[in-house]
Structure 1
Protein backbone atom coordinates (compact mmCIF):
# COMPACT_ATOMS: atom_id res chain seq x y z
CA UNK A 1 0.00 0.00 0.00
CA UNK A 2 1.34 3.44 -0.98
CA UNK A 3 0.52 6.40 1.24
CA UNK A 4 0.66 10.00 0.06
CA UNK A 5 0.63 13.02 2.32
CA UNK A 6 -0.14 16.63 1.45
CA UNK A 7 0.44 19.50 3.89
CA UNK A 8 -1.96 22.44 4.12
CA UNK A 9 -3.05 25.20 6.49
CA UNK A 10 -4.76 24.28 9.76
CA UNK A 11 -8.07 26.15 9.69
CA UNK A 12 -9.85 24.92 12.81
CA UNK A 13 -9.59 28.13 14.80
CA UNK A 14 -10.76 30.43 11.99
CA UNK A 15 -8.04 32.80 13.19
CA UNK A 16 -5.79 35.53 11.82
CA UNK A 17 -2.60 36.86 13.41
CA UNK A 18 -1.50 40.48 13.13
CA UNK A 19 1.93 41.88 13.96
CA UNK A 20 1.77 45.30 15.60
CA UNK A 21 4.86 47.53 15.82
CA UNK A 22 4.64 50.47 18.22
CA UNK A 23 8.27 51.59 18.37
CA UNK A 24 11.86 50.82 17.51
CA UNK A 25 12.69 48.35 20.29
CA UNK A 26 12.21 44.57 20.02
CA UNK A 27 9.83 44.84 22.97
CA UNK A 28 7.59 47.14 20.88
CA UNK A 29 6.50 44.30 18.58
CA UNK A 30 3.27 42.42 19.31
CA UNK A 31 1.31 39.48 17.99
CA UNK A 32 -2.46 40.02 18.06
CA UNK A 33 -4.41 36.88 17.17
CA UNK A 34 -8.13 37.04 16.39
CA UNK A 35 -10.42 33.99 16.35
CA UNK A 36 -14.00 34.71 15.30
CA UNK A 37 -16.70 32.16 16.01
CA UNK A 38 -18.28 29.96 13.35
CA UNK A 39 -21.95 30.75 12.79
CA UNK A 40 -24.70 28.40 11.67
CA UNK A 41 -27.71 30.56 11.02
CA UNK A 42 -29.15 34.07 11.14
CA UNK A 43 -29.76 33.88 14.90
CA UNK A 44 -25.99 34.06 15.51
CA UNK A 45 -25.53 37.59 14.26
CA UNK A 46 -22.46 39.77 14.35
CA UNK A 47 -21.09 41.89 15.89
CA UNK A 48 -19.79 39.39 18.42
CA UNK A 49 -18.78 39.90 22.05
CA UNK A 50 -14.99 40.00 22.19
CA UNK A 51 -12.70 38.72 24.92
CA UNK A 52 -9.22 40.28 25.05
CA UNK A 53 -6.82 37.69 26.38
CA UNK A 54 -3.45 38.38 28.01
CA UNK A 55 -0.59 35.89 27.65
CA UNK A 56 -1.84 34.85 24.24
CA UNK A 57 1.26 32.74 23.67
CA UNK A 58 0.11 30.52 26.54
CA UNK A 59 -3.66 30.67 26.34
CA UNK A 60 -5.00 31.86 22.96
CA UNK A 61 -5.18 28.60 21.01
CA UNK A 62 -6.67 26.62 23.90
CA UNK A 63 -9.21 29.32 24.73
CA UNK A 64 -10.34 29.79 21.12
CA UNK A 65 -10.81 26.04 20.74
CA UNK A 66 -12.65 25.74 24.06
CA UNK A 67 -14.98 28.57 23.05
CA UNK A 68 -15.64 26.90 19.69
CA UNK A 69 -16.22 23.42 21.15
CA UNK A 70 -18.40 24.60 24.03
CA UNK A 71 -20.57 26.70 21.70
CA UNK A 72 -21.00 23.73 19.35
CA UNK A 73 -22.54 21.65 22.16
CA UNK A 74 -24.43 24.50 23.87
CA UNK A 75 -27.77 24.00 22.05
CA UNK A 76 -27.71 27.71 21.27
CA UNK A 77 -27.34 28.66 24.95
CA UNK A 78 -23.85 30.18 24.63
CA UNK A 79 -23.26 33.38 22.73
CA UNK A 80 -20.73 33.20 19.89
CA UNK A 81 -17.54 34.78 21.27
CA UNK A 82 -14.53 36.23 19.49
CA UNK A 83 -11.19 35.66 21.23
CA UNK A 84 -8.28 38.09 20.80
CA UNK A 85 -4.91 36.91 22.11
CA UNK A 86 -2.15 39.45 22.81
CA UNK A 87 1.54 38.55 23.14
CA UNK A 88 5.00 39.95 22.54
CA UNK A 89 6.07 39.06 19.00
CA UNK A 90 8.80 36.57 19.86
CA UNK A 91 9.33 32.86 20.39
CA UNK A 92 12.09 33.53 22.93
CA UNK A 93 10.66 32.25 26.22
CA UNK A 94 13.06 34.30 28.35
CA UNK A 95 11.88 37.50 26.66
CA UNK A 96 8.24 36.46 26.83
CA UNK A 97 8.37 35.91 30.57
CA UNK A 98 10.46 39.05 31.15
CA UNK A 99 8.03 41.16 29.16
CA UNK A 100 4.98 39.77 30.91
CA UNK A 101 6.57 40.72 34.25
CA UNK A 102 6.85 44.28 32.94
CA UNK A 103 3.53 44.59 31.13
CA UNK A 104 1.16 42.77 33.48
CA UNK A 105 2.16 44.24 36.86
CA UNK A 106 0.58 47.46 38.12
CA UNK A 107 3.46 48.78 40.26
CA UNK A 108 7.25 48.93 40.16
CA UNK A 109 7.93 46.30 42.78
CA UNK A 110 10.16 43.27 43.06
CA UNK A 111 9.37 39.72 44.12
CA UNK A 112 11.37 36.57 44.62
CA UNK A 113 8.40 34.73 43.18
CA UNK A 114 9.42 35.97 39.72
CA UNK A 115 12.82 34.29 40.14
CA UNK A 116 14.77 37.04 38.38
CA UNK A 117 12.63 37.37 35.22
CA UNK A 118 12.61 41.20 35.35
CA UNK A 119 15.32 42.63 33.03
CA UNK A 120 12.74 45.09 31.63
CA UNK A 121 11.50 46.12 35.06
CA UNK A 122 7.93 45.94 36.35
CA UNK A 123 4.92 48.23 36.66
CA UNK A 124 3.85 48.57 33.02
CA UNK A 125 0.17 47.65 33.40
CA UNK A 126 -1.09 51.19 32.77
CA UNK A 127 0.75 51.37 29.46
CA UNK A 128 -0.39 47.88 28.50
CA UNK A 129 -4.02 48.69 29.22
CA UNK A 130 -3.72 51.86 27.12
CA UNK A 131 -2.28 49.78 24.28
CA UNK A 132 -5.25 47.42 24.40
CA UNK A 133 -7.91 50.10 24.70
CA UNK A 134 -6.49 52.77 22.37
CA UNK A 135 -4.59 50.79 19.73
CA UNK A 136 -5.41 47.07 19.62
CA UNK A 137 -9.15 47.13 20.25
CA UNK A 138 -9.99 49.89 17.72
CA UNK A 139 -8.01 48.12 15.00
CA UNK A 140 -9.39 44.60 15.42
CA UNK A 141 -12.92 45.90 15.99
CA UNK A 142 -12.76 47.77 12.68
CA UNK A 143 -11.29 44.79 10.81
CA UNK A 144 -13.63 42.12 12.23
CA UNK A 145 -17.32 41.99 13.25
CA UNK A 146 -16.66 42.63 16.96
CA UNK A 147 -18.84 44.58 19.38
CA UNK A 148 -16.95 47.46 21.08
CA UNK A 149 -19.83 47.69 23.53
CA UNK A 150 -19.25 44.13 24.77
CA UNK A 151 -15.55 43.84 25.52
CA UNK A 152 -14.18 41.36 28.03
CA UNK A 153 -10.73 41.12 29.60
CA UNK A 154 -9.17 37.83 30.65
CA UNK A 155 -5.90 36.57 32.06
CA UNK A 156 -4.10 33.82 33.93
CA UNK A 157 -1.55 34.20 36.75
CA UNK A 158 0.11 37.61 36.16
CA UNK A 159 -2.51 38.12 33.44
CA UNK A 160 -5.12 37.43 36.11
CA UNK A 161 -3.49 40.05 38.33
CA UNK A 162 -3.70 42.52 35.43
CA UNK A 163 -7.38 41.68 34.92
CA UNK A 164 -8.19 42.12 38.62
CA UNK A 165 -6.26 45.40 38.75
CA UNK A 166 -8.10 46.74 35.68
CA UNK A 167 -11.40 45.65 37.22
CA UNK A 168 -10.60 47.44 40.47
CA UNK A 169 -8.96 50.61 39.15
CA UNK A 170 -9.66 51.12 35.41
CA UNK A 171 -12.74 49.10 34.42
CA UNK A 172 -14.12 51.57 31.88
CA UNK A 173 -14.58 50.14 28.41
CA UNK A 174 -14.93 46.53 29.61
CA UNK A 175 -18.14 44.73 30.41
CA UNK A 176 -16.86 41.30 31.51
CA UNK A 177 -13.78 40.14 33.45
CA UNK A 178 -12.31 36.64 33.69
CA UNK A 179 -9.31 36.04 35.98
CA UNK A 180 -7.83 32.61 36.70
CA UNK A 181 -5.24 32.06 39.45
CA UNK A 182 -4.50 35.79 39.69
CA UNK A 183 -1.14 36.68 41.26
CA UNK A 184 -2.72 38.67 44.07
CA UNK A 185 0.48 38.28 46.11
CA UNK A 186 1.96 41.07 43.98
CA UNK A 187 3.51 44.03 45.85
CA UNK A 188 2.65 42.76 49.31
CA UNK A 189 -0.95 41.95 48.30
CA UNK A 190 -1.59 45.34 46.75
CA UNK A 191 -5.10 44.55 45.52
CA UNK A 192 -6.23 43.20 48.87
CA UNK A 193 -5.52 46.49 50.67
CA UNK A 194 -8.43 48.98 50.55
CA UNK A 195 -6.12 51.86 51.46
CA UNK A 196 -3.59 51.22 48.71
CA UNK A 197 -6.07 50.06 46.08
CA UNK A 198 -9.58 51.48 46.53
CA UNK A 199 -12.08 50.04 44.08
CA UNK A 200 -13.12 52.61 41.49
CA UNK A 201 -16.51 54.19 42.21
CA UNK A 202 -17.54 53.83 38.56
CA UNK A 203 -16.63 50.13 38.38
CA UNK A 204 -19.23 47.70 37.09
CA UNK A 205 -19.37 44.43 35.22
CA UNK A 206 -19.81 40.67 35.22
CA UNK A 207 -16.90 38.87 36.86
CA UNK A 208 -15.66 35.28 36.91
CA UNK A 209 -12.76 34.37 39.20
CA UNK A 210 -11.19 30.94 39.75
CA UNK A 211 -8.22 29.23 41.36
CA UNK A 212 -7.11 25.63 41.64
CA UNK A 213 -7.76 23.80 44.92
CA UNK A 214 -4.08 22.83 45.15
CA UNK A 215 -2.86 26.41 44.83
CA UNK A 216 -3.11 26.90 48.57
CA UNK A 217 0.49 25.71 49.03
CA UNK A 218 3.52 25.11 46.80
CA UNK A 219 3.92 21.79 48.59
CA UNK A 220 0.72 20.55 46.91
CA UNK A 221 1.60 21.56 43.37
CA UNK A 222 2.42 19.54 40.29
CA UNK A 223 4.96 19.35 38.82
CA UNK A 224 6.82 18.80 42.08
CA UNK A 225 9.02 21.83 42.65
CA UNK A 226 12.66 21.69 43.78
CA UNK A 227 13.11 22.22 47.50
CA UNK A 228 14.66 25.68 47.01
CA UNK A 229 11.71 26.84 44.87
CA UNK A 230 9.27 25.59 47.48
CA UNK A 231 11.23 27.52 50.10
CA UNK A 232 11.02 30.73 48.06
CA UNK A 233 7.29 30.23 47.55
CA UNK A 234 6.54 29.17 51.12
CA UNK A 235 3.56 31.00 52.53
CA UNK A 236 1.99 31.49 49.11
CA UNK A 237 -1.74 30.77 49.34
CA UNK A 238 -3.54 31.80 46.15
CA UNK A 239 -6.81 30.24 47.33
CA UNK A 240 -6.96 32.48 50.40
CA UNK A 241 -5.90 35.50 48.34
CA UNK A 242 -8.72 34.96 45.85
CA UNK A 243 -11.25 34.58 48.67
CA UNK A 244 -10.11 37.92 50.11
CA UNK A 245 -10.36 39.70 46.75
CA UNK A 246 -13.77 38.14 46.09
CA UNK A 247 -14.96 39.47 49.42
CA UNK A 248 -13.86 42.98 48.49
CA UNK A 249 -15.79 42.84 45.21
CA UNK A 250 -18.93 41.36 46.74
CA UNK A 251 -19.19 44.26 49.13
CA UNK A 252 -19.78 46.40 46.04
CA UNK A 253 -23.24 45.86 44.58
CA UNK A 254 -22.15 47.01 41.10
CA UNK A 255 -20.28 43.75 40.38
CA UNK A 256 -21.92 40.43 39.58
CA UNK A 257 -19.24 38.05 40.86
CA UNK A 258 -18.84 34.30 40.63
CA UNK A 259 -15.73 32.91 42.32
CA UNK A 260 -14.76 29.23 42.34
CA UNK A 261 -12.10 26.90 43.67
CA UNK A 262 -11.67 24.20 41.03
CA UNK A 263 -11.31 20.78 42.68
CA UNK A 264 -7.93 19.02 42.43
CA UNK A 265 -6.45 21.56 39.99
CA UNK A 266 -3.15 23.38 40.38
CA UNK A 267 -1.40 26.29 38.70
CA UNK A 268 -0.11 24.21 35.80
CA UNK A 269 -3.47 22.57 35.01
CA UNK A 270 -6.28 24.92 36.07
CA UNK A 271 -6.70 27.11 32.95
CA UNK A 272 -8.73 24.79 30.64
CA UNK A 273 -11.30 23.87 33.29
CA UNK A 274 -11.56 27.38 34.69
CA UNK A 275 -11.82 29.21 31.37
CA UNK A 276 -14.53 26.78 30.20
CA UNK A 277 -16.58 27.52 33.30
CA UNK A 278 -15.85 31.22 32.98
CA UNK A 279 -16.98 31.43 29.36
CA UNK A 280 -20.22 29.62 30.19
CA UNK A 281 -20.87 31.88 33.17
CA UNK A 282 -20.17 35.14 31.36
CA UNK A 283 -21.65 34.40 27.92
CA UNK A 284 -24.60 32.06 28.46
CA UNK A 285 -27.67 33.37 26.66
CA UNK A 286 -29.89 33.44 29.75
CA UNK A 287 -27.75 36.13 31.37
CA UNK A 288 -29.07 39.65 31.18
CA UNK A 289 -27.26 42.04 28.88
Structure 2
Protein backbone atom coordinates (compact mmCIF):
# COMPACT_ATOMS: atom_id res chain seq x y z
CA UNK A 1 0.00 0.00 0.00
CA UNK A 2 1.29 3.43 -0.93
CA UNK A 3 0.27 6.82 0.38
CA UNK A 4 0.81 9.68 -2.04
CA UNK A 5 0.67 13.39 -1.33
CA UNK A 6 0.66 16.83 -2.89
CA UNK A 7 0.88 20.39 -1.58
CA UNK A 8 -2.12 22.71 -1.73
CA UNK A 9 -2.02 26.43 -0.96
CA UNK A 10 -5.34 27.89 0.12
CA UNK A 11 -6.38 31.41 -0.75
CA UNK A 12 -8.87 31.32 2.13
CA UNK A 13 -6.36 30.48 4.88
CA UNK A 14 -3.15 31.70 3.20
CA UNK A 15 -1.50 28.41 4.17
CA UNK A 16 0.04 25.47 2.34
CA UNK A 17 -1.29 22.06 3.42
CA UNK A 18 0.07 18.61 2.71
CA UNK A 19 -2.74 16.54 1.21
CA UNK A 20 -2.07 12.81 1.49
CA UNK A 21 -4.27 10.24 -0.17
CA UNK A 22 -4.98 6.54 -0.54
CA UNK A 23 -6.87 5.11 -3.53
CA UNK A 24 -8.24 1.55 -3.30
CA UNK A 25 -7.03 -0.99 -5.84
CA UNK A 26 -10.59 -2.33 -6.07
CA UNK A 27 -12.72 -1.83 -9.19
CA UNK A 28 -14.29 1.61 -9.20
CA UNK A 29 -17.99 1.59 -8.29
CA UNK A 30 -20.25 3.22 -10.91
CA UNK A 31 -21.11 5.98 -8.44
CA UNK A 32 -17.50 6.43 -7.30
CA UNK A 33 -15.75 5.53 -4.04
CA UNK A 34 -16.80 6.82 -0.63
CA UNK A 35 -14.24 9.29 0.70
CA UNK A 36 -13.06 10.01 4.24
CA UNK A 37 -11.38 13.34 4.98
CA UNK A 38 -8.95 12.91 7.87
CA UNK A 39 -7.81 15.89 9.95
CA UNK A 40 -4.22 15.83 11.24
CA UNK A 41 -3.44 13.85 8.13
CA UNK A 42 0.28 13.61 8.84
CA UNK A 43 -0.58 11.55 11.93
CA UNK A 44 -3.60 9.53 10.87
CA UNK A 45 -3.82 9.07 7.08
CA UNK A 46 -1.68 5.92 7.02
CA UNK A 47 -3.56 4.40 9.95
CA UNK A 48 -6.96 5.10 8.40
CA UNK A 49 -5.89 3.87 4.97
CA UNK A 50 -4.52 0.62 6.35
CA UNK A 51 -7.71 0.00 8.33
CA UNK A 52 -9.77 0.56 5.18
CA UNK A 53 -7.52 -1.59 3.00
CA UNK A 54 -7.43 -4.59 5.32
CA UNK A 55 -11.10 -4.63 6.25
CA UNK A 56 -12.58 -3.78 2.86
CA UNK A 57 -11.27 -7.10 1.53
CA UNK A 58 -14.45 -8.65 2.94
CA UNK A 59 -17.03 -5.90 3.22
CA UNK A 60 -19.91 -8.32 3.89
CA UNK A 61 -18.26 -9.42 7.14
CA UNK A 62 -16.45 -6.25 8.22
CA UNK A 63 -18.99 -3.65 7.03
CA UNK A 64 -16.09 -1.53 5.76
CA UNK A 65 -16.26 -0.63 2.07
CA UNK A 66 -13.33 0.25 -0.22
CA UNK A 67 -12.90 4.00 0.23
CA UNK A 68 -10.63 6.85 -0.71
CA UNK A 69 -8.82 8.44 2.24
CA UNK A 70 -7.80 12.10 2.06
CA UNK A 71 -5.55 13.42 4.83
CA UNK A 72 -5.26 17.14 5.51
CA UNK A 73 -1.88 17.84 7.10
CA UNK A 74 0.00 20.87 8.37
CA UNK A 75 3.69 21.77 8.12
CA UNK A 76 6.28 21.93 10.92
CA UNK A 77 4.13 24.55 12.68
CA UNK A 78 1.36 21.97 13.12
CA UNK A 79 0.88 22.48 16.87
CA UNK A 80 0.15 26.17 16.45
CA UNK A 81 -1.58 26.11 13.08
CA UNK A 82 -4.05 23.33 13.86
CA UNK A 83 -5.09 25.31 16.93
CA UNK A 84 -6.03 28.16 14.61
CA UNK A 85 -7.66 26.11 11.84
CA UNK A 86 -9.73 23.86 14.09
CA UNK A 87 -11.22 26.43 16.52
CA UNK A 88 -14.37 28.42 15.94
CA UNK A 89 -14.46 32.22 15.83
CA UNK A 90 -15.78 33.89 18.97
CA UNK A 91 -16.06 37.35 20.49
CA UNK A 92 -14.06 36.22 23.52
CA UNK A 93 -12.04 33.18 24.56
CA UNK A 94 -11.63 31.60 27.97
CA UNK A 95 -8.72 29.22 28.53
CA UNK A 96 -8.97 26.41 31.11
CA UNK A 97 -6.89 26.67 34.26
CA UNK A 98 -4.56 23.89 33.14
CA UNK A 99 -3.43 26.15 30.28
CA UNK A 100 -2.24 28.89 32.63
CA UNK A 101 1.37 29.75 31.90
CA UNK A 102 1.24 28.40 28.35
CA UNK A 103 1.68 30.71 25.39
CA UNK A 104 -1.75 31.48 23.98
CA UNK A 105 -1.94 30.36 20.37
CA UNK A 106 -3.90 32.07 17.63
CA UNK A 107 -7.38 30.66 17.27
CA UNK A 108 -10.70 31.21 15.52
CA UNK A 109 -9.88 30.12 11.96
CA UNK A 110 -12.48 27.36 11.57
CA UNK A 111 -14.71 29.24 9.13
CA UNK A 112 -11.80 30.01 6.79
CA UNK A 113 -10.60 26.41 7.12
CA UNK A 114 -14.10 25.23 6.20
CA UNK A 115 -14.10 27.43 3.10
CA UNK A 116 -10.73 25.99 2.13
CA UNK A 117 -12.08 22.45 2.29
CA UNK A 118 -15.44 23.15 0.64
CA UNK A 119 -14.44 25.63 -2.05
CA UNK A 120 -10.88 24.55 -2.85
CA UNK A 121 -9.94 21.09 -1.62
CA UNK A 122 -13.13 19.16 -2.37
CA UNK A 123 -13.30 20.40 -5.98
CA UNK A 124 -9.66 19.40 -6.44
CA UNK A 125 -10.33 15.95 -4.96
CA UNK A 126 -13.34 15.55 -7.27
CA UNK A 127 -11.19 16.54 -10.24
CA UNK A 128 -8.45 14.03 -9.39
CA UNK A 129 -10.33 11.05 -8.00
CA UNK A 130 -13.55 9.06 -8.63
CA UNK A 131 -15.49 9.90 -5.46
CA UNK A 132 -19.12 9.48 -4.50
CA UNK A 133 -20.21 12.98 -3.48
CA UNK A 134 -23.06 11.57 -1.43
CA UNK A 135 -20.71 9.50 0.74
CA UNK A 136 -18.23 11.95 2.24
CA UNK A 137 -17.05 11.59 5.85
CA UNK A 138 -15.08 13.86 8.18
CA UNK A 139 -12.79 12.31 10.82
CA UNK A 140 -11.03 14.23 13.58
CA UNK A 141 -9.33 13.53 16.91
CA UNK A 142 -8.95 15.81 19.94
CA UNK A 143 -9.08 19.40 18.67
CA UNK A 144 -9.83 17.86 15.28
CA UNK A 145 -12.70 16.05 16.98
CA UNK A 146 -13.93 19.41 18.26
CA UNK A 147 -13.82 20.79 14.70
CA UNK A 148 -15.68 17.71 13.47
CA UNK A 149 -18.39 18.19 16.08
CA UNK A 150 -18.58 21.94 15.36
CA UNK A 151 -18.86 21.18 11.64
CA UNK A 152 -21.70 18.71 12.27
CA UNK A 153 -23.52 21.36 14.24
CA UNK A 154 -22.90 24.45 12.12
CA UNK A 155 -22.28 23.09 8.59
CA UNK A 156 -24.28 19.91 8.76
CA UNK A 157 -24.72 19.34 5.02
CA UNK A 158 -21.00 19.28 4.23
CA UNK A 159 -20.60 15.56 4.98
CA UNK A 160 -22.74 12.44 5.14
CA UNK A 161 -21.04 11.18 8.34
CA UNK A 162 -19.06 12.76 11.16
CA UNK A 163 -16.55 10.87 13.31
CA UNK A 164 -15.43 12.86 16.37
CA UNK A 165 -12.82 11.03 18.45
CA UNK A 166 -12.00 12.46 21.89
CA UNK A 167 -13.54 15.81 20.88
CA UNK A 168 -12.22 18.79 22.87
CA UNK A 169 -15.65 19.83 24.08
CA UNK A 170 -13.93 21.83 26.83
CA UNK A 171 -12.71 24.43 24.32
CA UNK A 172 -13.66 28.03 25.11
CA UNK A 173 -15.54 27.29 28.31
CA UNK A 174 -17.54 24.43 26.75
CA UNK A 175 -19.24 26.78 24.28
CA UNK A 176 -20.53 23.90 22.15
CA UNK A 177 -23.00 23.07 24.91
CA UNK A 178 -24.50 26.52 24.43
CA UNK A 179 -24.31 26.24 20.65
CA UNK A 180 -26.19 22.96 20.47
CA UNK A 181 -29.08 24.31 22.55
CA UNK A 182 -29.39 27.54 20.57
CA UNK A 183 -28.53 26.50 17.01
CA UNK A 184 -31.51 26.90 14.63
CA UNK A 185 -31.84 23.37 13.23
CA UNK A 186 -34.00 21.14 15.41
CA UNK A 187 -33.34 17.74 13.83
CA UNK A 188 -30.94 16.15 11.36
CA UNK A 189 -30.52 12.69 9.93
CA UNK A 190 -26.76 13.21 9.52
CA UNK A 191 -25.01 10.61 11.71
CA UNK A 192 -22.46 11.59 14.37
CA UNK A 193 -20.10 9.08 16.00
CA UNK A 194 -18.20 10.01 19.15
CA UNK A 195 -15.59 7.99 21.03
CA UNK A 196 -13.42 8.65 24.07
CA UNK A 197 -10.97 6.55 26.04
CA UNK A 198 -12.04 5.34 29.47
CA UNK A 199 -9.03 7.04 31.07
CA UNK A 200 -9.57 10.48 29.55
CA UNK A 201 -11.07 11.96 32.69
CA UNK A 202 -12.94 15.19 32.03
CA UNK A 203 -13.32 14.34 28.33
CA UNK A 204 -15.39 11.28 29.24
CA UNK A 205 -17.55 13.43 31.50
CA UNK A 206 -18.02 16.03 28.75
CA UNK A 207 -18.92 13.42 26.13
CA UNK A 208 -21.50 11.81 28.41
CA UNK A 209 -23.02 15.20 29.15
CA UNK A 210 -23.16 16.07 25.46
CA UNK A 211 -24.81 12.84 24.30
CA UNK A 212 -28.40 13.72 25.38
CA UNK A 213 -28.17 17.03 23.50
CA UNK A 214 -26.98 15.22 20.39
CA UNK A 215 -29.77 12.66 20.71
CA UNK A 216 -32.28 15.51 20.62
CA UNK A 217 -30.85 16.54 17.24
CA UNK A 218 -30.39 13.16 15.55
CA UNK A 219 -31.48 9.58 16.08
CA UNK A 220 -28.33 8.35 14.35
CA UNK A 221 -25.57 8.79 16.89
CA UNK A 222 -23.28 6.70 19.04
CA UNK A 223 -20.92 7.33 21.94
CA UNK A 224 -18.33 4.63 22.54
CA UNK A 225 -16.20 4.71 25.68
CA UNK A 226 -13.17 2.56 24.91
CA UNK A 227 -12.15 0.42 27.92
CA UNK A 228 -8.61 0.94 29.27
CA UNK A 229 -7.74 3.53 26.58
CA UNK A 230 -6.28 7.02 26.91
CA UNK A 231 -6.19 10.14 24.73
CA UNK A 232 -3.58 8.69 22.36
CA UNK A 233 -4.47 4.99 22.32
CA UNK A 234 -8.15 5.68 21.66
CA UNK A 235 -7.37 6.51 18.02
CA UNK A 236 -6.27 3.07 16.74
CA UNK A 237 -8.60 1.18 19.06
CA UNK A 238 -11.75 2.96 17.83
CA UNK A 239 -10.94 3.41 14.15
CA UNK A 240 -12.55 0.16 13.00
CA UNK A 241 -15.69 0.88 15.01
CA UNK A 242 -15.84 4.35 13.46
CA UNK A 243 -15.52 2.90 9.96
CA UNK A 244 -18.31 0.41 10.64
CA UNK A 245 -20.50 3.29 11.79
CA UNK A 246 -20.18 4.78 8.31
CA UNK A 247 -21.01 1.71 6.30
CA UNK A 248 -23.53 -0.20 8.40
Q: TM-score, normalised by structure 1?
A: 0.77
- Alignment partner, residue 102 of structure 2: 116
- Structure 1: gaps spanning 5 or more residues: 1-11, 217-236, 285-289
**Offset of 1:195 from its aligned partner?**
7.2
Q: How big is each residue's C-alpha offset from its partner over 1:165-202, in whole Å with a ceiling of 9 and x where there is no partner?
A: 01111112211000100000001111112577526347
**Offset of 1:116 from its aligned partner?**
3.5
Residue pairs, 1:92-107, within 5 angstroms: 92=76, 95-107=77-89
Q: Would you tell me which structure has more helix in proportion to its own residues?
A: 2
- Structure 2: gaps spanning 5 or more residues: none
In structure 2, which of residues 207, 211, 228 is the aligned counterpart of residue 264 of structure 1? 228
In structure 2, which of residues 13, 19, 42 is the aligned counterpart of residue 32 of structure 1? 19
Q: How big is each residue's C-alpha offset from its partner over 1:104-155, in whole Å with a ceiling of 9 and x where there is no partner?
A: 0113525255673644x10111111111111101111121011122211110
Give aligned pairs, total. Answer: 243
Q: Structure 1 residues 116, 100: closer, same or farther in 2, change over 3 A? A: farther
Residue pairs, 1:13-32, within 5 angstroms: 13=2, 15-23=3-11, 28-32=15-19
Counterparts of 2:195 and 2:33, CA distance in 1: 24
Residue pairs, 1:153-172, within 5 angstroms: 153-172=138-157
Counterparts of 1:132 and 1:81, CA distance in 2: 19
- Alignment partner, residue 248 of structure 1: 213
- Alignment partner, residue 239 of structure 1: 204
Q: Structure 1 residues 136, 118: closer, same or farther in 2, change over 3 A? A: farther
Contact 1:190 1:197 (C-alpha < 8 Å) held by counterparts: no
Counterparts of 1:157 and 1:203, CA distance in 2: 24
Q: Structure 1 residues 47, 190: closer, same or farther in 2, change over 3 A? A: same
Q: Structure 1 residues 195, 35: closer, same or farther in 2, change over 3 A? A: closer
**RMSD across aligned C-alpha pairs, in angstroms?**
2.4
Structure 1 stretch 176-185 or stretch 27-36: which is displaced more?
Answer: 27-36
Q: Structure 1 residues 195, 260: closer, same or farther in 2, change over 3 A? A: closer
Do structure 1's residue 207 and structure 2's residue 192 form an aligned pair? yes
Structure 1 stretch 68-77 or stretch 147-156: which is displaced more?
Answer: 68-77
DSSP-derived class of the 2:34 partner:
strand
Q: Structure 1 residues 201, 134: closer, same or farther in 2, change over 3 A? A: farther
Q: TM-score, normalised by structure 2?
A: 0.89
- Alignment partner, residue 190 of structure 1: 175
Q: How big is each residue's C-alpha offset from its partner over 1:256-279, in whole Å with a ceiling of 9 and x where there is no partner?
A: 101110110000111011121100
Rg comparison, structure with higher value:
1
Counterparts of 2:186 and 2:168, CA distance in 1: 23
Contact 1:179 1:209 (C-alpha < 8 Å) held by counterparts: yes
Counterparts of 2:184 and 2:207, CA distance in 1: 16
Counterparts of 2:200 and 2:220, CA distance in 1: 24
Residue pairs, 1:211-226, within 5 angstroms: 211-216=196-201
Contact 1:159 1:179 (C-alpha < 8 Å) held by counterparts: yes
**Offset of 1:78 from its aligned partner?**
2.5
- Alignment partner, residue 220 of structure 1: none
Do structure 1's residue 277 and structure 2's residue 246 form an aligned pair? no
Counterparts of 1:48 and 1:98, CA distance in 2: 33
